[in-house]
Amino acid sequence: MKFFVDSADVSAIRELNDLGLVDGVTTNPSLILKSGRDIMEVTAEICALVGGPVSAEVVAPQADAMIAEGRKLAGIAPNVAVKLPLTWEGLKACKVLSGEGRMVNVTLCFSAPQALLAAKAGASFISPFIGRLDDLAIDGIDLIGDIRTIYDNYGFETQILAASVRTVNHVLEVARIGADVMTAPPEVIRKLAVHPLTDAGLAQFLSDWEKTGQKIL
């Protein structure tokens, strides 16, 4: 499973990228606001840092304006994936932009029928939001499974990009069920390395090593 970082914080992305943990990046208007940066400038910086797809989101509500914005965003760098909302207008824009050979990430997906439409419109990625479904007591992991089954049934090449990933368990479950990609904030990715037994074992090893009175360097 590919790891995308859901952030517009260049320093956090760089740290993870240096460890070889970054296959791509996703951004959205809320993350751009949090960064305090100009969207064109920060997207260009991220694209230069990361070799994989970098999602940059349009904000227009109508298809024609989405297409114009998408073309401008795609012009930033070859690895920009234009992020479009899963609305009827967004699907229209997806069909045009994907037909031009541009990567498209269709976002805010909350049902398998929506995902089916996005695949038929030529989306490169579909982004089901599992955490937001969990907030409504709906199992977001089940949605990933339904989309996986449908896409496999018909050979759709659209990649399932599990989004709104909030916990280590989310990462485990979407990997187990077969998501192609997951995107998560840097802090969630860092937590994948944490386990209390690892910490306890290391503390014991260091305590025992100190008792030997030895040094390696």
Q: Are 81 and 56 in contact (CB under 8 A)?
A: yes
Rounded-to-integer distance, Cα 196 and Cα 153, Å: 41
Q: Are 129 and 164 in contact (CB under 8 A)?
A: yes
Per DSSP, the three-state class of 60 is coil
Q: Are 131 and 170 in contact (CB under 8 A)?
A: yes
Which residues carry out catalysis?
A: 83
Rounded-to-integer distance, Cα 200 and Cα 181, Å: 32
Of 56, 60, 99, the C-alpha closest to 80 is 56
